[in-house]
Amino acid sequence: MTLLDHVSTPPAGGTGGRQPEVVHALYALVRAEAAAEAHAAGVEAADLEQAVWLRLLERPAGPRAPGPEPADPARWVRAAVRAEARVARRRARRERAYTGGEPPGDWTGCPERITVGADERRALRAAVDRLPGRCPRLLEAMLAAHDPTYREIAGELGMSQGSLGPMRSRCLGCLRRMLAAEVVAPELRGKER
């Protein structure tokens, strides 16, 4: 689809279908001016050209501007291209490129993140409470905010420090199975065989 396909319908102002003629008359000038200003503005020439065409086709029709064609086309095109280049330069100064190492935003105080985190912690605590035997006490001790050592946990639970590792593995395996059963498995897609 070309630019002429997009501008073939006359606007509501009633210019009577002169837009294709205006596009043909100004095409080379807009293209040359956009190519000349694009490098200095740090944008693609095609993007600059498109912004100028949009500006031209959105011009209001009225007594001061009788249709999309400006009174002095060459002066208008130069002014429009330079104005769009200034806008692109200002935008480039304000925007920063995202480098993969930094986080895309500060999510620490985000209400959604806080709510989702609280829901996840609540679901985890509820699942830990449903575990069998001494598993709830062991995992509660390991999830404690003060981050206790194995020696402290063993003393608190009255167990030997060497048995904490194997028991922790069994409890976490049980917790994984319990949580996997609660998560809905995705439905099969396509035809069943």
Contact 141, 156 (CB under 8 A): yes
What is the Cα–Cα distance from 40 to 36, expressed in whole angstroms? 8
Banded model confidence at residue 95, pLDDT cuts 50, 70, 90: confident
Q: Of 152, 115, 157, 119, which is closest to residue 135 (Cα–Cα)?
A: 157
pTM reported for the whole predicted model: 0.42
And the tokens for 55?
């500006």
Contact 108, 97 (CB under 8 A): no
CA terminus-to-terminus distance, the chain: 44
Residue 18 has pLDDT above 80, yes or no: no
Residue 98 has pLDDT above 90, yes or no: no
What is the Cα–Cα distance from 70 to 77, expressed in whole angstroms? 9
Banded model confidence at residue 10, pLDDT cuts 50, 70, 90: very low
Q: What is the pLDDT of residue 100?
A: 66
* Number of alpha helices (DSSP H) and beta strands (DSSP E) in the chain: 8, 0
Q: What is the pLDDT of residue 93?
A: 84
72: number of CA atoms within 13 Å, CB side?
A: 6
